[in-house]
Amino acid sequence: MALYHTQNISSEKLLTIAANILHKAFYDCTRLEAKRRYQFLLDGRRIFLIKLQMQDGSELEVNLSLEQSELRGKLNFSLFKQLVGQLLGNYARLLNEKQPLNTFSDEEQQRWVYLIPAAFQGPEHLNMLVLSANMNEPGSLNLELMFIDPEQFRTAGANAAAG
């Protein structure tokens, strides 16, 4: 039976780890490997990315999934890879400039959503992709790339401007 230790981690450090893993999964590999991962994600599968050795000797399994219920239009591999690259660039800029991260987390701080989007304008719709990191399963970190509805931000912005 495996023993798991709870460790506190800052949202910045978690984002740095996630960004490095995403970079390795889609850029530091062959196009075929990256495309295979993309296809599994597109099919609704959660994929294993890496097993990390923690400082205390425990292991952390990192998985990735894709939530596409809010996606409007078509997604192909090139566009997906471009969006992941946009996310990674946004993260690097914010972390290097030590800018505050726009995040949401649950009360237990087991799930973080980084509201640092990558966006693309389709023929009829704007799409936004964000990253979620879920640590509620012992011994695993589940990353989720999520398409979100950009209209919720327009409404919030319009209400703030009107108020």
Q: In sequence order, what are the beta bridge partners of 5?
A: none
Q: Residue-wise over 8-28: b if at least 16 C-beta within 10 A, else e?
A: eeeebebbebbbebbbebbee
Residue 72: half-sphere exposure toward Cβ, Cα within 13 Å: 14
Provide the residue ranges of all domains of the chain, joining segments of one domain with +: 11-162
pLDDT at 148: 94
Q: What is the pLDDT of residues 44-90, one digit of tens each?
A: 999 999 998 877 778 889 999 999 999 998 899 999 999 999 999 99
Residue written as token pair 């090139």: 78
DSSP 71-110: --S---HHHHHHHHHHHHHHHHHHHHTTPPP-EEE-TTS-
Neighbours of 51 (CB within 10 A): 11
**Beta-strand pair 126-134/140-148:** antiparallel
| Residue numbers in the chain where pLDDT is lower than 70 | 1-7, 109, 153-163
Q: What is the pLDDT of residue 161?
A: 43
Cα 7 from Cα 60, distance rounded (Å) = 11
- Cα distance between residue 59 and residue 53, in whole Å: 5
